[in-house]
Structure 1
Amino acid sequence: MQQSVISLNLLLKAQLGSAYQLMCYFNSWPQYQPDVGDMKLDDIDPCLCTHLIYSFAGIWENNITVAKRKDLDDYKDFNDLKNRNNKLKTLLSIGCWNFGAGSFITMVSTPKSRYSFITSVIKFLRKYGFDGLNLAWQYPGCYGSPPRDRHLFTILIQSRYLDYIQVMTYDLHGSWDGYTGENSPLYKSPIEAGVKAFHNIKYIMDNWKKKGASPKKLIVGFPAYGHTFILSDSTKTGIGAPSNRGGHPGPYTKKTGLWAYYEICTFLKNGAIEVWNAAQQVPYAFRGNEWVGYDNIKSFHIKAQWLKRNNFGGAMVWAIGMDDYTGSFCDQGTFPLTSTLKRTLKVHSASCQGTALPANVTGSRNSSSGVLEPVLQQSSK
């Protein structure tokens, strides 16, 4: 069943710059887990992306609030990255899947509560130096949110004034399907019909255009991770092979059914067989009863070229900390996936000073004034 995630970006001033946008999420949560060697702020290369999005904040009594007090200490360092790239824009993300719908439902329910939220957002963003807000409500009108919230959400965001629409064209297949499938295929699978035939980037992006969205406002989602499966029969290894559950947690992400790109590289180095899925223009790999559908440099390049041919506005990456940011796992340099998008989209940062600071985790890890302009992001699953 196809589902939708509605998110919102509010920019403090209109964004002009590169012909294509490259919007990158930084997930702050893993860096507070001492047993997970994940990306820190010092590892971020401010020259890669046109926008960096810090995830996540929350809502309390209709006002924006920090999810963790430690985030307040990070905001200055995060926004100081703009000192090294004066074209860089920073946004603060609020919500996410784990956040739930309760605070959002209350916040959009009345003009007074919406005004309180908007006022708090403007004050908060200006205080801490962000250029805008990313509102990641998953999902208005679904999963405990009453149907009327779709209309109230539209009132909140004033859709006709949007600068960009991000489309989360990933999580299109996973262990919930009961069979193997690609996380973010460009084209439909020859073996799938009905609703599942819609689970591909081309269909989703074409549908947005068909509904009237301007292609230049549409930002295509790119995942720096893959979904994993345990095969029910290790002799059946293709697309659509029976699966009984998600794959084993990765050593760093520690999530059943999901591996970061750098964890997939380790899987490939340890004897997995990689297959290029020509029909859908993405790879998959398997070893024994373990199977993963993912993206690599080749698929990112192909998708970015397709994005350009179709005159879309750019790319969005979840999340740069899942790319091989140290360069110590995939032997493809630092940030190989995100760098591929930067090169292919020709995202320039002429005023950018240097690259990331020395990584906290090395190879040994393996043993403002202005008018608020809203930007909607849509995820289709």
Structure 2
Amino acid sequence: MAKLILLTGLVLLLNAQIGSAYVLSCYFTNWGQYRPGLGKYKPDNIDPCLCTHLIYAFAGMTNNEIATIEWNDVTLYQSFNGLKKQNGELKTLLAIGGWNFGTAPFTAMVATPETRQTFINSVIKFLRQYDFDGLDFDWEYPGSRGSTPQDKGLFTVLVKEMLEAFEQEAKQVNRPRLMVTAAVAAGLSNIESGYQIPELGQYLDYFHVMTYDFHGSWEGYTGENSPLFRGPADTGSNIYFNIDYAMNYWKTNGAPAEKLIVGFPTYGHTFILSNPSNTAIGAPTSGAGPAGPYTRQAGFWAYYEICTFLNNGATQVWDAPQDVPYAYKGNEWLGYDNIKSFNIKADWVKKNNFAGAMVWSLDLDDFTGTFCNQGKYPLITTLKNALGLQSASCTPSSNPSSGSGGSPSSGSGGSPSSGSGGSPSSGSGGSPSSGSGGSPSSGSGGSPSSGSGGSPSSGSGGSGFCVNKAGGLYPDPTDHNKFYHCVNGRTFVQNCQSGLVFDTSCSCCNWA
């Protein structure tokens, strides 16, 4: 009997440990440092006790080798990975790619065994040199946006070879194996054309599914950014644009639930209503809502900017079928997430036995606690508590508060991205966007979402510029402040932020 009680106790203990062992992966963006005032975000703003895994976005690639993008990445790496001194359980990963990075460098790199080996060797050296615990692939997307159909299979080969090399290296240096994860699409067509799911399920440690950007101002009608379920207005392919469908598609097609991580956005998408008296989901819109004062990008607000909108008298509506809120005021309409929707989604993650939650991104939550009156990091803290994550060995930093001033550091001659074409401002084209890695729209595949240069003008510009052109960003030959975003042959005309010009060397907006 005593043995039975002891055994039962061990089972309960084991279950308790398993039950609370969720992953909370949080992305840090290396362009948050360029936001003005209270929006400025650097590694010393991060609370090291908040997330189980921190992911640094983004690294790039030069000659098939991993490379820094921002002028001060190496300095930021040091601060970022230094957070592990305060939390002994914290893991850090480096993400490579993102929406603005495009597909061409990945396609070139995976093409031959030699180029893949060059890349893998460079990654191991780079991660160990700068004290990262793993690599997060943000290839958006294999088999789409100019990537060849063969890349679907070659991505699997790359991940398999990467894992094997990581395992071998770990034995040689007698250190824990480096992790290999990927930020992957949530839109059905991008999943089908991009991933051999069962095979990747054997090799990846985690799939960070980008379950957001399902709807936005590029569509011409209102819609939720990250709905949990299908809504009554969803018809046609829109029935696939929700978390429930996307996550279950990955699971039923061969990705283990214990490796699937659900994406949570700390931002919303905004619209201009064509008729301010029609505020329903699916109501016609004429374009993107105005840029926020800190993120400075049309159609996109950080949660702390959303709180200002709500506090200034916007009407808030709970979208019960989709378990997310929306809000409107005058002709402005907003689809977003709040504490209530994060709690509901976190319960859904647990009920469905997924591995945990991924947040895009740290710098878009109310990290100073200034705007929402809900404490610091209200959304991410909600997730941490809902998933039962408490770290016994963690000492929070004394003050993860905001820095001031948003101009690029003059330490490098004032250029925010000398030699890198990184983003000189939050969303002015250089930033890889809201989606985890700038996913254009994990759902619709039509949106160049929040950061790949600002949001597209409503509808597909009438110029026909993109007919028969590969997807991607192209300069406007007559106006250096403008560029074209080509998506499936459709033309979106976009503007760089005032004072910036489109730079073809990085396909981003940069200082002239």
* TM-score, with structure 2 as normaliser: 0.67
Question: Do structure 1's residue 354 and structure 2's residue 396 form an aligned pair?
Answer: yes
| Partner deviation per Cα, 1:127-152 (whole Å, 9 max, x = no partner) | 00000111111111111111111111
1:92 lines up with 2:94 in the alignment: yes
Q: CA deviation at 1:339?
A: 0.2
Q: How does 1:319-334 map to 2 (within 5 A)?
A: 319-334=361-376
Once the two structures are superposed, the pairs formed by residues 144-183 of structure 1 within 5 Å of their partners are 144-158=146-160, 159=200, 160-183=202-225
Deviation of 1:215 after TM superposition, in Å, equals 1.0
1:112-139 CA distance string (max 9 Å, x none):
0000000000000000000011111111
Give the distance between the partners of 2:68 and 2:383, measured in 1 at CA: 31
Equivalent of 1:258, from 272, 280, 300?
300
Which residue of the other structure, out of 116, 119, 125, is the alignment partner of 2:118?
Answer: 116
Matched, 1:226 2:268: yes
**1:201 maps to 2:220:** no
Which residue in the other structure is 2:143 paired with? 141
CA distance in 1, matches of 2:363, 2:51: 13
SS at match of 1:98: coil
Displaced runs of 4+ in structure 1, greater than 3 A?
32-36, 377-380
Q: 1:84-131, CA deviations, whole angstroms, 9 ceiling, x for partnerless residues? A: 000000011111111122211111010000000000000000000000
Change (3 A) 1:93 1:312: same
Post-superposition offset of 1:167: 0.8
Secondary structure of 1:150's partner?
A: helix
Counterpart Cα distance in 1 of 2:333 and 2:213: 15
Alignment partner of 1:236 is 2:278? yes
Is the contact between residue 27 and residue 56 of structure 1 (CA under 8 Å) also seen in structure 2?
A: yes
What does the per-residue CA deviation read over 1:143-194, in whole Å, with 9 as the maximum and x for residues that have no partner? 1111111111111012222221111110000011110000000110112112
Call closer, same or farther: CA 1:189–1:22 in 2, change over 3 Å.
same
Give the Cα separation in 2 of the matches to 1:150 and 1:107. Answer: 13
Q: Relative contact order: is structure 1 or structure 2 higher (C-alpha 8 Å, sep ≥ 6)? A: 1
Structure 2 partner of 1:214: 256
Q: Provide, for residues 226-251 of structure 1, a one-character-per-residue CA deviation record: whole Å limited to 9, x for no partner.
A: 01100000000011110111111110
Task: Look up the match of 1:60.
Answer: 62
- Residue correspondences, number: 352
Say whether the 8 Å CA contact 1:28–1:55 is kept in structure 2: yes
Residue of structure 2 equivalent to 1:372: none
How many angstroms apart in 2 are the aligned matches of 1:73 and 1:218? Answer: 32
Corresponding residue for residue 75 of structure 2? 73
CA drift at 1:18: 5.2
State the one-letter code of the partner of 1:148: Q
Question: 1:40 deviation in Å?
Answer: 1.8
Please list every run of 5 or more consecutive structure 1 residues that lacks an aligned counterpart in the other structure: 1-15, 363-376
Amino acid at match of 2:67: T
Return the offset for 1:205: 1.0
Alpha-carbon offset, residue 210 of structure 1: 1.2
Contact 2:40 2:402 in 1 (8 A): no
Contact map agreement 1:46 1:356 (CA 8 A) in 2: no
What is the identity, as a one-letter code, of the residue corresponding to 2:69?
A
Q: In structure 2, do the counterparts of structure 1 residues 17 and 237 end up closer, same or farther at CA, with 3 Å as the change threshold? A: closer
C-alpha distance in structure 2 between counterparts of 1:118 and 1:25, whole Å: 22
- Cα deviation for residue 36 of structure 1 reads 7.7
| CA–CA distance in structure 1, aligned partners of residues 81 and 128 of structure 2 | 11
Is contact 1:26–1:53 with CA below 8 Å preserved after alignment? yes
Tell me the percent identity: 59
Aligned to 1:50: 52
Q: Which residue of 2 aligns with 1:10?
A: none
Show CA shifts across 1:278-318 (max 9, x none): 11100000000000100000000000001101111000000
Give the letter for the 2:23 counterpart.
Q
User: Structure 1 CA distance, aligned partners of 2:124 and 2:156?
Assistant: 19
The two structures, once aligned, show a CA RMSD in angstroms of: 1.8
Return the letter of the residue paired with 1:99: F
TM-score of the superposed pair, with normalisation by structure 1: 0.89
Segments of 5+ residues of structure 2 without an aligned counterpart are 1-17, 161-199, 405-436, 444-512
Contact residue 44 and residue 356 of structure 1 kept, 8 A? no
**What is residue 5 of structure 1 aligned with on the other side?**
none
Alignment-derived partner of residue 34 in structure 2:
32
CA shift digits 1:55-89 (9 cap, x unpaired):
11100001001002301111111101000000000
Contact kept? 1:253, 1:260, Cα under 8 Å: yes
Q: Is 1:21 aligned with 2:23?
A: yes
- The amino acid across from 1:59 in the alignment is M
- Distance, in Å, in 1 between the alignment partners of 2:305 and 2:384 is 22
